[in-house]
Amino acid sequence: MTGPTADAQPPGEGVVADSAISLQDDLVRGIQDALDSGALEKAGEMLDGLHSADVADVLHLVGPDHRRLLVELVREHLDADVLVELDEPVRAEIVAQLGPRETAAAVADLETDEAVDVVDTLDDATQAQVLGALEADQRASIEEGLAYAQDSAGRLMQRDLVAVPSFWTIGQTIDHLREAGDLPDEFYELFVVDPAHHPIGTVPLNRAMRTKRPVEVSAIMDDEPRIVPVDMDQEAVAFLFEQYDLTSAPVVDASGRLVGVIMVDDVVDIILEEAEEDILRLGGVSESGLHDSVLKTTRRRFPWLLVNLATAVLASGVIAFFEGTIEQIVALAVLMPIVASMGGNVGTQTLTITVRGLATRDLTSANALRLFGREIAVSLINAVLFAVLAGAVAFLWFDSAGLALVILAAMAVNIVVAGAAGMAIPLGLNRIGVDPALAATVFVTTITDVVGFLAFLGLAAWFLL
């Protein structure tokens, strides 16, 4: 770092890394205690100076009653960015408290993409009221954003950007930046456009600042910009940014005209959102949040629990088929869960790796067969190791060589099948256009349970009776 202030930093102006990641518990407790004791002014002072994301964290962590009090304390100077950082249920609650006009005033201070995100989560009646309270040009811009498909580049992009013709000199460009009154709050690149407003290149700001004034923009631009179609899915946009280390990217409409820009901070949010979505779907709780109502959360979880019940009944049917075998050899009931459990764990491990590989595009049709072979090899090695261990446990426990051989063989079969299913099922679902994160877990669990019980009890009936 260079400059007169590079060697020293005034006390209190730094940001401690731990506090930047999460608020300390004592801060939230202190605010709650102040509110409970009626020291509202003190609670408001504790919020002063906090980043908008930290204010949003406080509003998430406190209860509904405390939240209402805090909103009243800060509503006159509420940072609009706080609304962006809030989860949907909490945002809806606060918007209802602020009312349409105050919400519209906050939305008007946001970048277009953030304003679209906030307005989109409101119910239809509130959305119409907030849009009606906006200026005509702001309302038109947000309505245009809402017209794009959910999770598309059109929803992510900002309309404010800096576009310059290729024949301008650096001097003309700098003069324009100094004189223009409608520049975006933050930008990292200049987009070079042709007469039809099609993007033909980009110039990073640092390169522009280092270049002499008489040099034309076309001489220093990157002439192969990574262009994003307005209808591109947000996952594909995130991949593009990750693959090519982009800080921003131009967005074009169907005719190729430059209509917006996507910034890296928006893509970071998408990466986190998509990762969270996959994790939730793997657990059968997609789109569920900590702040959703009890009924809403129950309604979202019930369908997958019902599916799991049906698959559990199927697995139980396999057990019931061998009821006579279990009655004659009680030890089977003791050892049976081990086989199914190990198969389930192996299947879950492979499934997780596969779903993640599909999401990051590290797993494609080009390398699927090779990686499938790799997972089978891993499963075979684990099958041998854990089958021997399980057989040894069974022999020491029940002093039966036959029982040890049965669980050894059943364990080996189920682990190999689980490894194969953990990769084949998400690949198959992805091939037919079904989200593997949403549906694969139920199928893999069912297969490992059914195969595990069938192999163990079937081998026992054939070999021990």
| DSSP H or E run through 95 | helix 88-98
pLDDT reported for residue 97: 92
Question: Could you tell me which CATH number the domain at 163-263 has?
Answer: 3.10.580.10
Residue 243's alpha-carbon distances to 271, 353, 362, in angstroms, are: 13, 20, 11
> Considering all CA atoms of the chain, what is the largest pairwise distance in Å, rounded to the nearest integer?
94
Please answer whether residues 428 and 363 qualify as being in contact, where contact means their C-beta atoms are separated by less than 8 angstroms: no
| Residues whose CB is less than 8 angstroms from the CB of residue 116 and which lie 6 or more positions away in sequence, other chains included | 142, 145, 146, 155
The amino acid at 386 = F
Question: Which segments within 106-242 are labelled E, that is strand?
Answer: 163-165, 189-193, 199-204, 228-229
pLDDT reported for residue 19: 46
Please answer whether residues 264 and 247 qualify as being in contact, where contact means their C-beta atoms are separated by less than 8 angstroms: yes
Long-range Cβ contact pairs of 316-322 (< 8 A, separation 24 or more): 318/449, 318/450, 318/453, 318/454, 318/457, 319/453, 319/457, 321/457, 322/453, 322/457, 322/458, 322/460, 322/461
pLDDT reported for residue 42: 87
pLDDT reported for residue 274: 74
Q: Give the separation between CA 133 and CA 124, rounded to whole angstroms.
A: 14
Fold of 294-463: Tetracycline Repressor; domain 2 (1.10.357)
| Residues whose CB is less than 8 angstroms from the CB of residue 272 and which lie 6 or more positions away in sequence, other chains included | none
Please answer whether residues 336 and 457 qualify as being in contact, where contact means their C-beta atoms are separated by less than 8 angstroms: yes
pLDDT reported for residue 121: 87
Low-confidence ranges of the chain (pLDDT < 70): 1-24, 278, 280-293, 297, 300-301, 304-305
3-state helix, strand, coil in the chain (%, to 5): 65, 5, 25
pTM: 0.65
pLDDT reported for residue 229: 96
State pLDDT tens for residues 372-382.
999 999 999 99
Q: Please check whether the two domains, 23-149 and 163-263, share a CATH topology.
A: no
| Residues whose CB is less than 8 angstroms from the CB of residue 242 and which lie 6 or more positions away in sequence, other chains included | 271
State pLDDT tens for residues 168-216.
999 999 999 999 878 888 899 999 999 999 999 999 999 999 999 999 9
pLDDT reported for residue 150: 87
CA neighbours within 13 Å on the CB side: how many for 388? Answer: 5
Name the pairing type of β-strands 248-252 and 258-263: antiparallel
The amino acid at 276 = E
The domain locations on the chain are 23-149, 163-263, 294-463
CATH superfamily to which 23-149 belongs? MgtE N-terminal domain-like (1.25.60.10)
Instruction: Work out the angle at residue 427's Cα, subtended by the Cα atoms of residues 450 and 368, and round it to the nearest 5 degrees.
Output: 120
Which residue has 């770092």 as its token pair? 1
